Amino acid sequence: MHPLLNIGIRAARRAGTVVVRALNRLDSIDVASKGRNDFVSEVDRQAEQEIIATVRRAYPAHGFLCEESGVTDARPGGDEYVWIVDPLDGTTNFLHGFPQFCVSIAVQVRGRVELAIVYDPLKQELFTATRGGGAQLDERRIRVSKSRGLEGALIGTGFPYSSNQQWLDAYMAMLKAVTLASAGVRRPGSAALDLAYVAAGRTDGFWELGLKPWDTAAGALLITEAGGRVGTLTGEEYLLGPHVVAGSPKTYEALVELLRPHVPEELRAKRG
C-alpha cells in the first residue's frame, strides 16, 4: 500500500471514530453557524484535528487545506504536499442523526490530486484511489456504471443552500430537466459520498453547484480512476471549482448537454 494512503486511511478511521462516538450525545454538541443553514460543530473540529495530528506525526512538513481551519503549512514551501480535508461531510445530516455523512481526505502533490479517501464511518465503507492505480471499495476494484445515457439512470445531486441560493431558479430548471429525462434523482446530503457512489456504480451521475475543494477533491479522483468523467457544468476540465458534473462517460456527456441550456451566464465563464 502507498505510504501516504496508509497514513490517510489511519487518519480517516480515527476521525470516523470521533464522529460515531458523538452520535450518542447529539443533544449536547456545541454547534455554530457559518452562514444560513451552514453549520459547524465541535465534532467537525475534533475530527479535523485528529486527522491533522495523525498526518503530522508521519509527515510534519506537509500542508493542509481544511474546511474548518483553512490553509495551514508546517513550514515554508509546505504546499508541495497538501492534504485536502473535510472531516465531516454532511454535518447537517449528522446533527439530525440522518445516517449519511463521511470523512473525505485527498492528497495534492505539486498541484495535482494523487490520492483519495472517502470513509463512511457508520457503514465502515472505505473508498480509496491513487492516480493511475484505480479505485477501490474495501480493497475491491470498483468501476462506474455501464449506463449509456440518462434513460434509466439514477442521478445524484445537491440543492443550493446558504450563499448559493442566487442560483436556485436555475437549479430548479436543471432538476426538472433531469427528473424528466432519468429514472430518478437522489439528494442524500454528502457530496463526497455522493461522488464515491458514482465511482462505485451505485448512481450513474451527479451534479451540484457551489461546492468547495474539500467536498470534491477525493470524490473526483475516485470517479476518474473508476473510469468515469468529471467536469464543469459546461463540460470543461474540472479544477476543484464550485460547480461539478460527474458520471459514467456516456451519462456524463448526456448530463452536461441537458444542463447546458439552464446554466446561468455568470457560471459559464467560470472554469474548474
pLDDT band at 74; cut points 50, 70, 90: low
Q: How confident is the model at residue 23 (pLDDT cuts 50, 70, 90)?
A: confident
Domain 3-141 is found in CATH 3.50.50.60:
no
**Which residues, in sequence order, are bridge partners of residue 41?**
31
At residue 44 the predicted structure's pLDDT band, cuts being 50, 70 and 90, is confident
Give the mean model confidence (pLDDT) for residues 96-110: 96
The whole-number pLDDT of residue 43 equals: 86
Query: Which amino acid is it at 160?
Result: P
Query: Can you give the residue ranges of every domain in the chain?
Result: 3-141, 154-268
Q: Quick one: CATH architecture of 154-268?
A: 3-Layer(aba) Sandwich (3.40)
pLDDT at 34 > cutoff 50: no
Where does the chain show beta strands of DSSP type E? 31-35, 38-41, 63-66, 70-72, 81-89, 102-109, 112-120, 125-130, 134-137, 140-141, 154-157, 184-186, 205-208, 229-231, 244-247
For residue range 213-225, what is the model confidence (pLDDT) as tens digits? 999 999 999 999 9
Q: Which residues pair with 39 in a beta bridge?
A: 33
Give the pTM.
0.93
Task: Give 247 or 44, the one with higher predicted confidence.
Answer: 247
Q: Residue 38: pLDDT band by 50, 70, 90 thresholds?
A: very low
Plot region of 224 (φ>0 → left; ψ -120 to 50 → alpha; else → beta): alpha
Q: Decide if 118 contacts 193 (C-beta within 8 A).
A: yes
Q: Which residue has the cell 455523512?
A: 101
For residue 30, what pLDDT is reported? 63
Rounded to the nearest 5 degrees, what angle is found at the Cα of 78, between the Cα atoms of 223 and 114?
15
